[in-house]
Structure 1
Amino acid sequence: MRHIYHCPLRWSDMDAYGHVNNAIFLRYLEEARIDFFSLRGKESKQGSVVARHEIDYRRQLAHRPTPVTIELWVTEVKAASFTVSYEVKDADVIYVQASTVVVLFDFETQRPRRVTAEEREFLLKYRDDAAEEAVAA
C-alpha cells in the first residue's frame, strides 16, 4: 500500500528557468512525509529526525495550478529507523524518485529511540519491496 499526497505548487517554488527549483523538492517530500505521519493521529514528545535524503531528478516540473502527486511507501524498517521512498509524478511522468532515512528520536533525552511495536505495525502496512526493486532496476 502507498500513501498518496497531492502537493500544490507555489509561484515561489519556481526558479529563473521557469521550473520548480531542485531544493524545493525536499519541501515537497517533507510535506508528504508529515501528511503520512499524521495518519497515526498521535502526539508525543517523541518524534523523528531525517538522517539522509537521496534524490534522482528525472524531469523538469514547470509551475502550474494543479497539484503534483507524491506517492510514498516504506522500504525498510530497522530497530531505530526506517526508510521512506517516493515518486513525485503525474499519471504518465515521474519528475523525482527519492528516499529518506528517518531516525526515531526522543527529544527529552536527545537520543535515538527504538521503533515501538505499534509504529512497526503501522509502517509495515506501507511496505512495498516490489516497488523498490523496480526503481533500482
Structure 2
Amino acid sequence: MARFVYEAALRWSDMDVYGHVNNARFLTLYEEARVALMFTAARKHGLTTLEEGVVISRHEIDYLRPVDYGDAVRIEMWVEEIRPSRFVIAYELFDDGLVASRARSVCVPFDLAAQRPRRMTAGEREFLEPYAP
C-alpha cells in the first residue's frame, strides 16, 4: 500500500491563543491534503471525475499532541476502505517527525447537478486502489 504524502504550510491564522494550531484548523490541513490527492494527483493519473463532486459524510480526528507554529507539517494519507458508493481516507499528521494527529474522512462521490450521491467509477476505483491495503 502506498501513502500519499503532502507538506502543508502553516499560517499564522492557524494558531490559537495558546500558540498551537487550533483544533478546527486540523480539518483545513486534512482538506488541503485530500484536495491534492483527489484533484492534483488524480489529474496527473488522467482522472478528473473526483473534481466533479465528492462530499464528506463523516470526519473523525484524534489529537495526540499540540502542534506549535512552524514552517510546515507532513500529512500522510491512504485509503482505508473502498465501497461502491463511498471511500474512507485515513490520515496521519506529523510535526517534527512525530505523529500529532490521526483522522478519517468518509468521502461520497456526489452528482452536483442531480444533488445526490452516485456510484464510484471504475477509473476512480483504479486510482484509489494503490493507496488501499
**TM-score > 0.5, shorter chain as reference:** yes
Q: Deviations over 1:58-94 (max 9, x none)?
A: 0000001x21000010000011100000000036311
Q: Name 2:42's counterpart in structure 1.
A: 40
Aligned length, in residue pairs? 127
Matched, 1:23 2:28: no
**Aligned to 2:31, what secondary structure does the other structure show?**
helix
TM-score, normalising length from structure 2? 0.91
Q: 2:102 aligns with which of 80, 85, 97?
A: 97
Contact 2:15 2:69 (C-alpha < 8 Å) held by counterparts: yes
Structure 1 CA distance for aligned equivalents of residues 97 and 67 of structure 2: 13
Structure 2 CA distance for aligned equivalents of residues 80 and 108 of structure 1: 17
The letter for the 2-side match of 1:28 is L
Structure 2 CA distance for aligned equivalents of residues 50 and 4 of structure 1: 20
Give 1:40 shift: 1.3
Q: 1:57 aligns with which of 63, 66, 80?
A: 63
Contiguous gaps of at least 5 residues in structure 1: 129-137
Q: 1:106 aligns with which of 96, 107, 111?
A: 111
Indicate the percent of aligned positions where both proteins have the same amino acid: 46
**Aligned to 2:53, what secondary structure does the other structure show?**
strand
Structure 2 CA distance for aligned equivalents of residues 9 and 79 of structure 1: 35
Contiguous gaps of at least 5 residues in structure 2: none
TM-score, normalising length from structure 1? 0.88
CA-atom RMSD in angstroms? 1.3
The letter for the 2-side match of 1:12 is S
The letter for the 2-side match of 1:87 is E
Q: 1:104 to 1:53 in 2, by over 3 A?
A: same
Structure 2 CA distance for aligned equivalents of residues 55 and 40 of structure 1: 25
